[in-house]
Amino acid sequence: MLFKRLNVYLAQKLTLMKNIFVVLVSMMLTIPSFAQLSIGADQGYIITNALDTVVGVIKQNTPAQQSVKLIFTDSETNEKHIYRPFEVKSWHIPNENIIYESKAHKIGRKNFGVFMRRLNEDGQIGCYEYWNTDGQNGFTQIFLERDGKMTEVNYGKFKKHMAEYFGDHEELKTRIENKEFKKKDLIQIVAIYNKWMEYKWGG
């Protein structure tokens, strides 16, 4: 009787250990896929140069890589594409509010195609962030776009530069000169100006 109980006990223990082993193996197999999904696979879409919308999966990379290429997998065809700036108009990840647009970045006398991240909503003035990899150390630059012309924000002379740039909006210009806005308020400044322009042309 004692040996029978011992055999039953050992069988139960063995079954429990097998179940634990199966669970652990399953977790080990699924964790890498979840990690890969969270790091590099985001649902989004591209806007082609023909203004068509194509839904797919966008692989996010480092800021330096994202400024020069887009890795995109078409959800319908499951085909993987690598796009360079101006091969698509823009790419979007709605859940993370990420929009990159193809822009011309001037270095010296030459223009280079790059992807810049849009920081504000649509309007007369666009605000963009660009990750510059010129040289050994990368750094970000902020640009304002008006009528297709890109102007880098001079943070060293922020008040003077912004007062001049938005000078046709007298009230906003005065508020900038009176130091109502700090450097971190650039998006707010652009939003005020764009709203004013919308009202001006709409009225």
Q: 22 pLDDT exceeds 50?
A: no
* Residue whose C-alpha is closest to residue 72's, from 82, 62, 84: 82
Greater pLDDT, 154 or 10 = 154
Q: Is the pLDDT of residue 149 over 60?
A: yes
User: Is 137 within 8 Å of 128 (Cβ atoms)?
Assistant: no
- Domain boundary assignment for the chain: 1-39, 41-99, 119-203
Give the pLDDT of residue 24: 39
d(CA 189, CA 201): 19
* pLDDT above 50 for 20: no
Residue 40's pLDDT is what? 60
d(CA 143, CA 120): 11
Which residues does 141 contact at the CB level (< 8 Å), separation at least 6? 129, 130, 132, 152, 153
pLDDT-derived band at 106 (thresholds 50, 70, 90) equals: confident
Contact call for residues 162 and 173 (beta carbons, < 8 A): no
pLDDT tier at 57, thresholds 50, 70, 90: very high
Torsion sign over Cα 48, 151, 105, 62: negative
Question: Would you list the DSSP string of 109-143?
Answer: TEEEEEEEEE-S-SSSEEEEEEEE--SSS-EEEEE
CATH class of the domain comprising 41-99: mainly beta
In the numeric block, which tokens belong to residue 84?
A: 């360079």
> Long-range pairs for 191-196 at CB < 8 Å and ≥24 separation?
191/120, 191/121, 191/123, 193/123, 193/124, 193/125, 193/166, 193/169, 194/120, 194/121, 194/123, 194/124, 194/125, 195/123, 196/169, 196/172
pTM above 0.85, yes or no: no
| pLDDT for res 155 | 96
Six-digit token string for 118: 């849009």
Structural element, H or E, at residue 38: helix 2-40
Q: pLDDT for 129-141, tens place per residue?
A: 999 876 567 789 9
**pLDDT over threshold 70, residue 50:** yes
- Is pLDDT larger for residue 49 or for residue 33? 49
